[in-house]
Amino acid sequence: MKKTTITSFLLWTLALNLKSQSVPLEVVVGNRNAFYQHSVGKNFAGNQQFGWLNIASVLVHYDKKSDPENALSDEIMNQTYFVYRPTKGIALLGGGFYTDVTKFRVSAAIQLSLRRKALMMMLAPRIDVVKNGAYELFGFIEYNPKMGNEGWTGYSRFQFMTNHGKEGHNRSYQQFRLGTGYKANQFGLAVTLDQYGPHPSSLVNTGLFIRHVF
């Protein structure tokens, strides 16, 4: 727990202090676990095609004391990439991927994105560039329409990830967010479905989220 708390604080500090294009940062407090994630991206000076990207998350489970034999381990994920954008809506990524389970692995990914006013969509397949490495698919769709002229918006988001390897399914999740926003802040209801291992069943975490874009 101490390790996870320190790591979360360091990631939060990183997100707050980097002078990036935008830093969406989210915290969820639910009935089964607490969750943090951020995404930090920046172009290199004077160049719109090349840049870097950092994506990180921390998941802290509550049941370690009440049910230690069946408790899930806390999770830390951190990805850092060099980014090349050959054209609008397409980005090629190469860098490193770290989790508690896999440790550090060289990673490559493609991001396909589309933005239309209040709507944004992304699909991103990724692979570990190692022998018998894992492969995964990440994606999201986000919609935040304006509500009047006072800075209020609606906010909804569906985000998913599924990861597979030599032995089959490793890890998946589906995140649902529904709420409202005011200027750079969003908040509301959060539901996450988590699946683990080769014979997955869904664990449901329900709670509240708060999100801020720096």
pLDDT 10s digits, 71-122: 788 999 999 999 999 999 999 999 999 998 889 999 999 999 999 999 999 9
What pLDDT does residue 66 have?
61
127 within 8 A of 100, measured Cβ to Cβ: no
pLDDT at 107: 97
pLDDT under 50: residue ranges of the chain: 1, 6, 15-16
The pLDDT value recorded for residue 20 is: 56
| Predicted TM-score (pTM) of this structure | 0.87
Judged on CB neighbours under 10 Å (0-12, 13-18, 19+), 97 is buried
| pLDDT at site 81 | 96
Express the helix, strand and coil content of the chain in percent, nearest 5 each.
5, 65, 25
Looking only at the bridges linking them, the beta strands covering 203-213 and 185-196 are antiparallel
Number of H helices, E strands in the chain: 1, 12
Q: Say what the pLDDT of residue 42 is.
A: 87
Q: What is the pLDDT of residue 45?
A: 81
Domains of the chain plus CATH, in order, are: 2-213 (2.40.160.40)
DSSP assigned state of 145: -
- The whole-angstrom separation of Cα 91 and Cα 56 is 18
